[in-house]
């Protein structure tokens, strides 16, 4: 077994040689070597070729691929090939096809057409995994197992009878008996009381708003069902390929919240994720930084793998923009700055047919005399130059709480506003701190908060007792806590808490919300006090402050003119801050600079707008990553050895659009 490439930041891609005649494979390996590619993810969509008929396995072609890669010094991240079953399988076992909310089958002909709860799928997937593990466990190219691919990307919610039975079993395990289910789901409402577990269904299409806790539990159940599919393959790999690390690629990018990743993390040997820059966002690079910090949080600070990103355009957005000069290096190194030690791509060679032929690749359809190929060569050189940062860690003084389950609950229907989107405030706060050069760890709701100077709780609608207690304990221990509107409203069953809106966090904050006043899309309210000149959107509320709670800003106009919008209450050595509206970016910058100053949170470096800074540290060494997204040169008063240009500097100058990695003196 090979160890993971360790002489630099690993660089590689999904490699789909089955799409090409064998003569091309040798050229592939030669070009991989030229580019500095040192790993390939092989077999992700190879089930149809590896098992062309039930129980008939054909591995000879894969033997040749692995041998060739090994001869070229390229490590293999070998997929279990179970992401997409072949047509013969789906045709023979139509009960494995997912079913939508209306009972319509989602047919094969695309990919990932399998039901998350299907035992038939498990049986065939684990059989293939076993064959692969038995054959390749000691192949010298093998460095990592890649189970399935992006679990839940297309098949996350299936409503078939198998899933219904699985849901009942899951409820039995979670709640013990039907009374507890009835209580958790609040079925006293709308005559929904169940008298027999067999009556319980997934939240299939109904007349109007479904039971929100049923919907929430179904999401939890589906995440667990897919995790069980992963674990079934993992168990096979542990038996037949012991000692070889195993991962599956998560999707921590914006808009993908299918799975409750914190519950998956204990089952992977290394956290890996995929990320694609979304052109529709106002600030795609801020989202990229958020996703990277979220992935590092899942990895508990350990180095993680970027399994996929793109060399240029993707094919699945409404308009697919090519990357501009310099963007590839900036995007890739943002991931490294924020803790990735592996840079993977989809895919090595651009396909000539199929649904993704317009998706960029490391080796583009237009060949090697291209911007993409030159960028890839430059990235290969950069990855090799960064060897010494591998294994180092990012440290942060600020924690931001992120909870998939809270997001599912918030984005359910029948809330004060359909415009409340989970993640909006989290992204706003993270982006503001990124502008200020402050690094943030994005943590799950049950992660350890000790040691952080500032804890951000952005619109965490569902907040269980343990999370609330941890936030309160951190504040009592001297941390500053900043909570934004509509947090701590419901418990884990999506039930309102006794004692008014947000009673537990409200007690910490020294505020009491009397009534919610969400704002219409486009509606703006002026703010005064420390946020004079800024506006709030999305949300406002009638807020009462307790004695000793300071009002920092109120509404200057609108229905709530004169009432509080931003408050601060001293708690021991720290403080609890509350933001009751979505303040604009300029206002958020002002507020956070005040909060950070109070909390003693320092930026990594003082930087001009558009310049991103992150520091990685190891025993006795630190590296400052400077990513200049702006169109002006950035100059930092820092000395050290710049790794990408391999020279000593007294002052670090980073050209417009450029990147620098400084081993600091």
User: Quick one: 153 or 384, whose CB is closer to ligand GLA?
Assistant: 153
Please tell me whether residue 511 adopts helix, strand or coil conformation: strand
* Dist. CA 310–CA 319, nearest whole Å: 15
DSSP code of residue 490? B
- In the complex, the smallest distance separating the C-beta of residue 245 from ligand GLA, rounded to whole angstroms, is 19
Q: Classify burial at 119, counting beta carbons within 10 Å of its beta carbon; exposed 0-12, middle 13-18, buried 19 or more.
A: middle
In the complex, the smallest distance separating the C-beta of residue 255 from ligand GLA, rounded to whole angstroms, is 13
Q: Is 51 an active-site residue?
A: no
Q: And the tokens for 559?
A: 């229905």
Q: Which residues bind ligand GLA (CB under 6 A)?
A: 149-150, 274, 276, 308, 314, 346, 356, 359
**Residue tagged 């009638």 (tokens):** 542
Closest CA to 599 of 481, 500, 465: 481
DSSP 8-class letter at 462: B
Output the smallest distance, CB 335 to ligand GLA, in A: 14
Q: How far is the CB of 88 from ligand GLA (least distance, A)?
A: 21
DSSP output for 544-561: EE-TTPEEEEEBSSSTTT
Q: Which is nearer to ligand GLA, 192 or 317 (CB)?
A: 317
The one catalytic residue in 51, 285, 287, 308 is 308
Please state the closest distance from residue 149 (CB atom) to ligand GLA, in A: 5
Q: How far is the CB of 125 from ligand GLA (least distance, A)?
A: 17
Closest CA to 490 of 519, 507, 465, 517: 465
In the bound state with ligand GLA, the residue whose beta carbon lies nearer, of 146 and 568, is 146
Token pair belonging to 56: 């008939």
Per DSSP, the three-state class of 248 is coil
Question: Closer CB to ligand GLA, residue 149 or residue 213?
Answer: 149
Whether residue 141 contacts residue 69, with contact meaning beta carbons closer than 8 Å, is answered with: yes
Q: Least distance to ligand GLA from the beta carbon of 300, Å? A: 24
Q: Which is nearer to ligand GLA, 356 or 491 (CB)?
A: 356
- Say if residues 308 and 335 touch (Cβ distance below 8 Å): no
Token pair for residue 466? Answer: 């343990």
Q: Are 17 and 28 in contact (CB under 8 A)?
A: yes
Closest to ligand GLA by CB, 274 vs 494, is: 274
If you ran DSSP here, which 8-state letter would residue 190 be given?
G
Straight-line distance from the first to the last Cα atom of the chain, in angstroms, rounded to the nearest whole number = 38
Quick one: 219 or 359, whose CB is closer to ligand GLA? 359
Q: How far apart are CA 227 and CA 664, in angstroms?
A: 42
Shortest separation between residue 273's beta carbon and ligand GLA, angstroms: 10
Minimum separation from the CB atom of position 59 to ligand GLA (A) = 22
Nearest to 404 by CA among 219, 271, 274: 219
> Angle formed by the axes of helices 284-298 and 424-435, to 10°?
100
> Whose Cβ is closer to ligand GLA: residue 190's or residue 358's?
358
R_g (Cα) of the chain, nearest Å: 26
Alpha helices in 392-499, H assignment, sequence order: 404-410, 424-435, 465-476
CA distance 250 to 263: 12
Residue 477 buriedness (CB in 10 A; 0-12 / 13-18 / 19+): middle
Residue position matching structure tokens 């060399």? 311
Q: Name which of 125, 126, 127, 90 is nearest 110 in CA terms.
A: 90
CB of 145 to ligand GLA, least distance (A): 16
- In the bound complex, what is the minimum distance in angstroms from residue 28's beta carbon to ligand GLA? 18
Answer for the pair 291, 253: CB distance below 8 angstroms, yes or no: yes
Nearer of residues 48 and 164 to ligand GLA, judged by Cβ: 48
CA distance 542 to 545: 10
CB atoms within 10 A of CB 164: 17
| Choice among 51, 150, 287, 612 that is catalytic | 150
> 80 vs 463, which CB is nearer to ligand GLA?
80
Of 60 and 319, CB closest to ligand GLA: 319
> What is the three-class DSSP state of 206?
coil
Report, in Å, the least distance between residue 83 CB and ligand GLA.
8
Q: Does residue 566 contact residue 552 with C-beta atoms inside 8 Å?
A: yes
| Encoded tokens for 659 | 């990147």
Active site (annotated) includes residue 602? no
Read off φ and ψ for residue 566, nearest 5 degrees: -135, 130
Residues 6+ apart with CB under 8 A from 398: 433, 438, 439, 440, 441, 452, 453, 454, 455, 456, 596, 601
Q: Which lies closer to ligand GLA via its Cβ, residue 359 or residue 638?
A: 359
Q: Which residues contact 634 (CB under 8 A, 6 or more apart)?
A: 607, 608, 611, 626, 628, 653, 654
Q: Which residues, in sequence order, are bridge partners of residue 545?
A: 511
Active site residues: 150, 308
């Amino acid at each position: 077994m090979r160890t993971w490439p360790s002489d630099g930041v690993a660089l590689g891609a999904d490699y789909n040689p089955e799409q090409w005649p064998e003569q091309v494979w040798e050229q592939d390996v030669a070009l991989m070597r030229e580019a500095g590619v040192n790993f390939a993810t092989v077999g992700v969509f190879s089930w149809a070729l590896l098992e062309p008929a039930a129980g008939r396995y054909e591995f000879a072609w894969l033997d040749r691929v692995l041998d060739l890669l090994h001869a070229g010094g390229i490590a293999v991240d070998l997929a279990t090939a179970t992401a997409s079953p072949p047509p013969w399988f789906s045709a023979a076992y139509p009960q494995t096809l997912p079913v939508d909310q209306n009972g319509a089958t989602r047919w094969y002909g695309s990919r990932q057409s399998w039901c998350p709860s299907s035992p038939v799928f498990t049986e065939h997937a684990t059989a293939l995994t076993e064959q692969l593990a038995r054959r390749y466990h000691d192949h010298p190219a093998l460095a990592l197992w890649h189970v399935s691919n992006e679990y839940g990307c297309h098949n996350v919610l299936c409503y078939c009878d198998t899933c219904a039975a699985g849901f009942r079993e899951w409820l039995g395990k979670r709640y013990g008996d039907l009374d507890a289910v009835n209580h958790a789901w609040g079925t006293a409402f709308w005559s929904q009381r169940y008298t027999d577990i067999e009556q319980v269904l997934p939240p299939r299409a109904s007349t109007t708003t479904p039971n929100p806790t049923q919907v929430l539990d179904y999401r939890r159940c589906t995440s667990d069902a897919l995790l069980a599919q992963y674990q079934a393959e993992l168990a096979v790999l542990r038996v037949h390929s012991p000692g070889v690390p195993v991962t599956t690629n998560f999707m921590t990018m914006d808009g993908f919240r299918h799975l409750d990743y914190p519950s998956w993390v204990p089952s992977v040997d290394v956290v890996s994720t995929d990320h694609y820059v979304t052109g529709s966002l106002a600030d795609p690079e801020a989202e990229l930084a958020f996703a990277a910090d979220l992935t590092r949080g899942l990895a508990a600070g350990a180095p993680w793998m970027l399994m996929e990103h793109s060399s240029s355009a993707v094919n699945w957005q409404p308009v697919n923009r090519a990357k501009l000069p310099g963007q590839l290096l900036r995007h890739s190194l943002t991931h490294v700055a924020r803790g990735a030690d592996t840079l993977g791509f989809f895919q090595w060679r651009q396909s000539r047919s199929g649904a993704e032929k317009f998706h960029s690749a490391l080796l583009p359809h237009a060949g090697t005399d291209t911007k993409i190929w030159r960028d890839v060569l430059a990235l290969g050189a950069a990855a090799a130059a960064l060897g010494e940062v591998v294994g180092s860690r990012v440290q942060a003084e600020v924690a931001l709480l992120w909870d998939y389950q809270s997001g599912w609950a918030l984005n359910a229907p029948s809330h004060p506003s359909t415009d409340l989107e989970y993640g909006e405030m989290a992204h706003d706060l993270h982006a503001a701190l990124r502008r200020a050069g402050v690094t943030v760890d994005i943590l799950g709701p049950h992660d350890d908060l000790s040691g952080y100077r500032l804890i951000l709780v952005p619109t965490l609608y569902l907040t269980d007792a343990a999370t609330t207690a941890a936030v309160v304990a951190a504040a009592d221990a001297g941390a500053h806590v900043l909570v934004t509107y509509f947090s701590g409203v419901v418990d884990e069953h999506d039930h309102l808490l006794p004692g008014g809106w947000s009673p537990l966090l409200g007690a910490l904050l020294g505020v009491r919300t009397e009534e919610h006043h969400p704002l219409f899309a486009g509606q703006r309210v002026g703010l005064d006090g420390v946020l004079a000149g800024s506006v709030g959107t999305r949300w406002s509320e009638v807020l009462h402050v307790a004695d000793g709670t300071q009002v920092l800003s109120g509404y200057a106009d609108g229905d709530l003119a004169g009432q509080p919008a931003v408050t601060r209450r001293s708690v021991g050595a720290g403080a609890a801050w509350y933001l009751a509206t979505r303040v604009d970016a300029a206002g958020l910058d002002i507020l956070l600079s005040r909060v950070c100053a109070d909390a003693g949170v320092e930026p990594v470096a003082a930087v001009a707008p558009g310049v991103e800074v992150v520091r990685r540290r190891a025993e006795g060494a630190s590296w400052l990553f400077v990513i200049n997204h702006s169109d002006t040169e950035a100059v930092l008063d820092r000395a050290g050895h710049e790794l990408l240009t391999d020279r000593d500097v007294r002052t670090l100058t980073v050209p417009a659009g450029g990147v620098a990695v400084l081993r600091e003196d």
